[in-house]
Amino acid sequence: DAGVIQSPRHEVTEMGQEVTLRCKPISGHNSLFWYRQTMMRGLELLIYFNNNVPIDDSGMPEDRFSAKMPNASFSTLKIQPSEPRDSAVYFCASSLRLEFGTQYFGPGTRLTVL
């Protein structure tokens, strides 16, 4: 299996622009997670889905952030408008099941907002 696939791997954009991060989970996995990693705050869970349905989005920092999972093999995390403080590495992870399921992380997208 190819593992969790994320694109792009690096994104540099200017403040105010819309940013869309993409994730393809491992085939057959039912749960998908979006994390943000910064030096200051560490790894933070933003939102997670189970069977394509958002379960908990309480980690989403602001209304500027939104996430969708239109089908079992694709998810997006959108930031509109982006701000410099959104600069971070964003990880997507998937697991076979929600509870006790090993979360497999993608390689991440390094976002820089100028």
Partner 1 sequence: GENVEQHPSTLSVQEGDSAVIKCTYSDSASNYFPWYKQELGKGPQLIIDIRSNVGEKKDQRIAVTLNKTAKHFSLHITETQPEDSAVYFCAASSRGRRGGSQGNLIFGKGTKLSVKP
Interaction site with partner 1 (CB under 8 A): 4, 31, 33, 42-45, 48, 50, 55-58, 91, 93, 98-108
User: In this structure, what are the phi and psi dihedrals at residue 84, rounded to the nearest 5 degrees?
Assistant: -55, -35
CB of 101 to partner 1, least distance (A): 8
State the nearest-atom distance from the C-beta of 4 to partner 1, in Å.
8
C-alpha separations of 3 from 12, 33, 74, 113 in Å: 25, 14, 13, 27
Residue 112: CB atoms within 10 A of its CB come to 14
In the complex with partner 1, which residue's Cβ is closer, 18 or 44?
Answer: 44
Between 76 and 81, CB nearer to partner 1: 76
